[in-house]
Structure 1
Amino acid sequence: MLYTPDIIAAIATAPGRGGVGVIRISGRQLGEIVAKLIGKPLTPRYAHFARFKAADGSVLDEGIALYFPAPNSFTGEEVLELQGHGGPVVMQMLLSRCLELGARFAEAGEFSKRAFFNGKMDLAQAEAVADLIDAQSAAAAKSALKSLDGAFSREIHVLVDELITLRMLVEATLDFPEEDIDFLEAANAHGKLLELQNQLQRVLGTATQGKLLREGMHVVLIGQPNVGKSSLMNALAGEEIAIVTDIAGTTRDTVRELIQLDGVPAHIIDTAGLRDTTDAVEKIGIERTWAAIAKAELALLLIDSRIGISSNDQAILDKLPPGLPVLRVFNKIDLTGDVPGIVADNEIHVSAKAGIGLNELRNKLLTLVGWHGHDDSVFIARERHLNAIRRAQSHLITAENAYLQIEIFAEELRLAQNALSEITGQFTSDDLLGVIFSRFCIGK
């Protein structure tokens, strides 16, 4: 339980004008704020019509007041929610009044942080709150809701419980070193370890899909000038995002657009054509192109199908970062009569202008980034979750290799458990908590 004398308050609705705005207050002993702001006691979990009063008794606003006693609230503390008119001036006046009455302005994510410390949710669930708010597609929102409901946490808890059981078997042998190997073999410790590794790989696969839904894929369109990068950008986006002309070097800066591919967010980046140039502005655009390439997860190299791969195209390929997946997109097949679609693992033929082969291109993009299609078991996940799972995998591999060295075996199992426990917050440093919750919005 997090015990703190502080009462925190914040506007919980989005900035700007709206029909309704919400002020959220959380802390201990909110009775004085209720008495001075509303002037009457509130029945728990009952919607009261109320007039919110200033220090001189004048009315600041009127609306609905809701009171949730501890521990039956979002934060586990006493919570007061004031629903007033959603104008920014009205909301600020009402918030200022709460601060006058002893509350302080809440930090980013502080309501969710208190919910975590008070046992209302674990760390993965708390992160899912922010992920649900930030969801960039319906599929991402659905998966975030599964994590908020505890689907991801339950998977981790099962793994941790099985690790604890295996650790008990292994550490029990430390008291009887002359019988350790026979005891472990009789308990099938090695079989249990292999099963744990299989379960961990399955959870990693599901979490990887969840990370794709949360963060999407970052795809950069590259190639020589006038090969159709901007036309392909517009075709994938379904609207005129980038300027298209027959003049080489029209695109002089990176143009970014977020689209949806089967519910997966795709950040598509159109770039300046890569060529030698004396134009100062175009040079800057080309520098930014290489910066975008360095951060991309996938590159589409557009090639004029009438010309094929030229020495300039090969020069671009030679300069790409090692390990960056590259799909060669032969464009303008409406002018050559080539058959559209996938030709090889890293080659596809399309016409951005005529819209030919684009469905095959979309499906290929999803395949290349590892998307396996929609599955009701997918929960939202973050890079830190994947890192924790991979570290746990590494410790289990070391444990398997040290099976006959009981002390090392036991230590590696402990480290694997700690890595997994970081996901739910059972074993987490204060520094990590500070970073996680600081990225939440105010009011959550």
Structure 2
Amino acid sequence: MFQLEPIAALATAPGIGAIAVLRVSGEGSIDITNRIFRGKDLTKQDSHTAHFGTLRTVDGHIIDEVLVTVFRAPKSFTKEDVVEISCHGSEFIIQQILRRLTQEGARLARPGEFTQRAFLNGQFDLVQAEAVADLISSDSEASHRAALSQLRGGFSKQLKLLRQQLIDFVALVELELDFGEEDVEFAHRDQLRQLMLDIRRVLHPLIDSFSTGNAIKNGVPTVIIGKPNAGKSTLLNALLNEEKAIVSDIPGTTRDVIEDELFIDGIRFRLIDTAGLREATDQIEAIGIERTQQKMRDSALVVYLFDGKNISPEELQTSVADIRLSGKPYLLVGNKLDALTDEKKQLLESIAAEPIVWISASQQTYLDDLKAALSARVRTDSAVQTGSAVVTNARHYEHLTGTDDALVRALTGLDAGVTPDWLAMDLRVALRHLGELTGEITTDDLLDSIFSKFCIGK
């Protein structure tokens, strides 16, 4: 653990509020704050204690009455000496305090610099550090749960342990290179193979979880498709409880995609209303239908909405078969239940041979059933349901797949009886990816790129 030059920043959101919190961290931060504080001598106070007093200008005028909390190294977020100043949330007061702190020797912090220092001082690894930013920006229960899991260690602790075991084997393989002419084998090949298989067993669920994790972090892209006048725009308006899309009896009214967000059971859905699927009557409608098909390809969930009153059994059967061929998770939603006979409803259910969620978008009835079905469809993914480790970061996904690719090459080489130098080369690539993932191997450019995305004061 080491302490760098003192830095200071506003830790709460900018703007007028009841209180604001400023954070100071680094060597001499307690002494710097003490020089502008009138109250108890902060340099003599225990860690994790709060003290009331005033902050003063250079000529002794009161800036504000404040509450100062002292955190002594290494028992702080950054593992450095840290002071947090709670003051009134006036922009003028905040700037005056920051000015005084810089006059006494602190400098203004860069974005993410407090978290970067926590990482450099071993408070947590790089995956956990990035989870801090995800936790701050989480806007749903699912994204909050995923970020919190990573902040608490998630999958990185397990990977660090397996990486260390792989390092030990690589050392033995490279030792064999010094005895190349003697045909000795220090690294037992069966044990090495088993270790690589164990690592891949850990990697695969994480790699597979990225599509789910990305949806959790950015919202589940949910496209509503169907024929013109099936009620797609009416349904979108009903779910959002606002007139988001134009509703008309004229087929082909929706010419472009319309998107908005809806939170259901702590999950953010990005609802996408699309142009009706049919033979286009003009060039503009053709473009809209092409965009519908593209959105369907890009979506994580498809809602196929059909007019239960006017659709034929043959048309429903063909549409369901086409959706199944797409390979996308989907829900069948029958609209205009209020105008449907029981006989027609039972016939369509027998043709679909799977559950249909029945609603009346215009009457706004049974929408809760649809919301429950949407939530249940997403929660069938075990990662969302159980809170297991989920990969939400593209950088993590890249290094996980890079590790797996290197291990596949190493396993193939092992089966082919390659020489230790070729085997060691692939193992080193796997180690590099694992090290860059958790931050055991870093560059200044990588750290600057990651932490520059944080807010100032964190």
Short-chain TM bin? 0.7 to 0.9
2:268 — aligned with what? 265
Residue 89 of structure 2 aligns to a residue in which SS?
Answer: coil
Matched, 1:431 2:451: no
Local SS of the residue matching 1:63 = strand
Q: Shift of the alpha carbon at 1:384?
A: 1.6
Q: C-alpha distance in 1, partners of 2:188/2:400?
A: 27
Are 2:345 and 1:338 aligned?
yes
Cα 1:246–1:416 change in 2 (3 A) is same
- Asked whether 1:440 is paired with 2:454, we answer yes
Offset at residue 115 of structure 1 (A): 1.4
* Distance in structure 2 (CA, Å) of the matches to 1:71 and 1:349: 56
Bigger drift between 80-89 and 201-210 goes to: 201-210
Please tell me whether residue 90 in structure 1 is matched to residue 100 in structure 2: no
User: Among residues 140, 143, 152, which one is paired with 1:137 in the alignment?
Assistant: 140
Which of 73, 76, 91 is the matching residue for 2:76?
73
Does 1:393 pair with 2:396? no
Query: Does structure 1 residue 27 correspond to structure 2 residue 26?
Result: yes
Describe the shift of the 1:32–1:362 C-alpha distance in structure 2 as closer, same or farther (beyond 3 A): closer
Kindly tell me: are residues 294 and 56 of structure 1, through their superposed partners in 2, closer, same or farther at Cα, counting changes over 3 Å?
A: farther
Partner of 2:192: 189
Local SS of the residue matching 2:49? coil
Give aligned pairs, total: 433
Shift of 1:231: 3.1
- In the TM superposition, 1:38-437 aligns within 5 A as 38-39=37-38, 41-42=41-42, 43=45, 44-177=47-180, 184=187, 188-205=191-208, 210-234=213-237, 236-237=239-240, 239-240=241-242, 242-243=244-245, 245-248=247-250, 254-273=257-276, 276=280, 296-305=299-308, 306-307=310-311, 325=328, 327=330, 329=332, 331-332=334-335, 334=337, 335-336=339-340, 337-339=344-346, 350-353=358-361, 354-355=365-366, 358=370, 359-365=372-378, 367=380, 370=381, 372-378=383-389, 381-403=392-414, 404-405=417-418, 406-437=420-451
Query: Any conservation in 2 of the 1:128–1:380 contact (CA below 8 Å)?
Result: no
Unaligned runs of 5+ in 1: none
**SS of structure 1 residue aligned to 2:85:** strand
Judged with a 3 Å threshold, the aligned counterparts in structure 2 of structure 1 residues 302 and 206 are, in CA distance, closer, same or farther, namely closer
Within 1, Cα distance between the matches of 2:187 and 2:70?
Answer: 55
The CA RMSD measured in Å over matched residues stands at 3.8
CA contact (8 A) 1:230 1:270 kept: yes
Provide closer, same or farther for how the CA distance between residues 342 and 221 of structure 1 changes in structure 2, counting only shifts above 3 A.
farther
Q: TM-score, normalised by structure 1?
A: 0.81
Give the CA deviation at 1:399. 0.4
* Maintained 8 Å contact 1:144/1:380: no
| Letter of the structure 2 residue corresponding to residue 426 of structure 1 | E
CA contact (8 A) 2:169 2:187 kept: no
Take 1:56 and 1:371, find their aligned partners in 2: how far apart are those partners? 62
1:305-325: CA deviation from partner (whole Å, max 9, x where unpaired) = 424697xx99xx89xxx9783
Q: Deviation string for 1:58-96 (max 9, x for gaps)?
A: 212112012223333222333221101224443333334
Task: Give the 3-state SS of the residue equivalent to 1:120 in structure 2.
Answer: coil
1:133 aligned counterpart, secondary structure: helix
Give the % identical residues.
36
Q: 2:177, 2:349 → 1: CA distance? A: 62
In 2 relative to 1, CA 231–435 (structure 1 residues): closer, same or farther, beyond 3 Å?
farther
Give 5+ residue unaligned stretches, structure 2: none
Pairwise CA distance, 1:395: 0.6
The amino acid across from 1:103 in the alignment is A
- The DSSP-based 3-state class of the residue aligned with 1:19 is strand
Q: Structure 1 residues 150 and 195, CA, compared in 2 at 3 Å: closer, same or farther?
A: closer
Aligned to 1:15: 14
Contact 1:395 1:415 in 2 (8 A): yes
Contact 1:211 1:382 in 2 (8 A): yes
> Structure 1 stretch 133-142 or stretch 181-190: which is displaced more?
181-190
2: CA distance, partners of 1:8 / 1:151: 30
Q: 2: distance between equivalents of 1:88 and 1:38? A: 19
Amino acid at match of 1:192: L
Query: Structure 1 98/279 Cα, relative in aligned 2: closer, same or farther at 3 Å?
Result: farther
